[in-house]
Amino acid sequence: MFLRFVAAAVRFRRRRLLLAFSALSVAATLATALFSVYSDIERKMRVEFRGYGANMIVAPMGEARTLPLSAVARAEALGVTAAPFLYTVGSLRGEPVVVAGVDFRRAAPLIGYWHAPAPGTGECLAGTAAAEHFHLTPGAKAELDSGPCVVRAILSTGGSEDAQIVVPFTGNAASVIQVRADGERLAEIRAALAKVLPEGDVRLLHAVAETEANVVLKVRSSLYLLTALILAITTLCVSSNFSALVIERSREIGVLKAIGAAERKIAALFLSESLLLGAGSALAGYAAGLVVAWWIGRRIFPDSASAVGVDFGVFLPVAGVTLAVAAGATLAAAARIWSIKPAVILRGE
């Protein structure tokens, strides 16, 4: 009987309910998309900051000039990206020049901004200022005292590399080890590194680390505020729609009361109708929201390795919010059921 009432109510007021349903679905879609993006944004932003390269460097401690190469392996054991760099003063045509030995295989994630191919054995990169000074062009031979190399490409970074000749790393010592660690656990990793590398001075690159932390925090908190704002306003809007569902049916309530239905029973009727609608909206909105989140992830972070921004964990909060809105709005309006006098309503006053 109860079920038949609810089913019939839905059937007879299809269009009206469809509107309420779509409004709530839109809210659920938005909630899903925003929750998904928000839950993932920190990790995504931190990935973007990897392009800045190292956020720590390990320099020789005290008077030493180099670090043993074994330090790189010890650092890597902590799960960080670490690459050795060796700087020596070589000579080219009788003039001194800084020769940088770079382990391109390890350093690739740290020097993405070089936009230069990795030189093979017998090849090198010439910094733009060095190339200009020595009149080197790609393909030319640079007669370094440590052995000639063919210039693979010209390097322009705006940094100290511009005045250097970069060759593939050889040897078993490093002038400096550049390290990129997960921005979230930086302090912890720094302490761990200092412990396993007692011969090195582990320095945090404050500018990189702090800017990353700052920007990630600010983007996250603006997203947080906007999410809260959008959801609050959307829910308010939708709940007025649901309240109207009850209010506009005063006549029906009057009839039900006139034939002897208890107020609680009528309220339960309306509530189950709204909850049914809410559950449907939550499901539809959740599905649509995942698509929106997926699309946003695809568009903004196309090279992200993980499943782009889709977080299945957001279903519970979304369903919770949706059902709460439907139930809350209905119950708030259901207070009217008690005050409605059948005779007055049915007379049309």
Partner 1 sequence: MFVRFVSQSIRRSPRRKAMTVAAVAMGSAVATAMLGVMLDIGDRVNRELRSLGANLMVTPKGRALPVEIGGISYRPVTRDDFIPESALPKIKTTFWHLNIIGVAPVLRAEARIGDRVVPVDGRRIDVPADGHQCIVGSSLARRLHAHAGTELTLFGERFTVAKVLETGGEEEDCVQVRLDVLQRLTHREGQVDAVEVSALTKPEDAFAAKDPAKMTPAEYDRWYCTPYVSSIAHQIEEALPMTVARPVRRVADNEGKVLDKIRGLMLLISAAALASAGLTVWSVMATTVLERRAEIAIMQATGAANRVVAALFTAEVALEGAVGGLIGALAGTQLARWVGESVFQARTESPALLVPLTVLVAVAIAIAGAAQPLRRSLALEPAVTLRGDA
Please report, as residue ranges, which positions from 70 to 109 form the binding site for partner 1 (by CB under 8 A). 87, 89, 95-98
CB 285 within 8 A of CB 322: yes
Coil, strand, or helix at residue 204?
A: strand
Q: Is 45 in the site for partner 1 (CB under 8 A)?
A: yes
Q: Is 48 in the site for partner 1 (CB under 8 A)?
A: yes
Report the residue number, 116 or 279, with the smaller CB distance to partner 1. 116
Report the residue number, 196 or 207, with the smaller CB distance to partner 1. 207
Between the CA of residue 57 and those of 67, 120, 176, 184, what are the distances in Å? 12, 25, 7, 17
Among 10, 39, 42, 59, binds partner 1 (CB under 8 A): 59
Between the CA of residue 99 and those of 71, 120, 131, 147, 344, what are the distances in Å? 21, 16, 13, 11, 96
Looking at residue 324, the DSSP 8-state letter turns out to be: H
Cβ-based neighbours of 42, under 8 Å, separated by 6 or more: 184, 216, 220
We find the least distance from the C-beta atom of residue 3 to partner 1, in angstroms, to be 25
Cα-trace Rg, the chain: 33
Among 9, 27, 80, 282, binds partner 1 (CB under 8 A): 27
**Number of residues that make up the chain:** 349
CA angle at 66 for the pair 63 and 72, rounded to the nearest 5°? 130
Q: Is 221 in the site for partner 1 (CB under 8 A)?
A: yes
In one-letter notation, the amino acid at residue 64 is A
Report the residue number, 103 or 212, with the smaller CB distance to partner 1. 212
Q: Is 33 in the site for partner 1 (CB under 8 A)?
A: yes
Among 78, 150, 173, 300, binds partner 1 (CB under 8 A): 300
We find the least distance from the C-beta atom of residue 96 to partner 1, in angstroms, to be 5
Report the residue number, 90 or 168, with the smaller CB distance to partner 1. 90
We find the least distance from the C-beta atom of residue 265 to partner 1, in angstroms, to be 25
DSSP 62-115: TT---EETHHHHHHHTTT-EEEEEEEEEEEETTEEEEEEEE-HHHHGGG-GGG-
Report the residue number, 7 or 228, with the smaller CB distance to partner 1. 228
Among 9, 17, 29, 333, binds partner 1 (CB under 8 A): 29
Coil, strand, or helix at residue 128?
A: helix
> CB under 8 A: which stretch of 1-9, 76-84, 113-121, 317-325 binds partner 1?
113-121
Contacting partner 1 within 140-199 (CB under 8 A) = 156-160, 162-163, 175
Contacting partner 1 within 234-263 (CB under 8 A) = 234, 236-238, 240-241, 244, 248
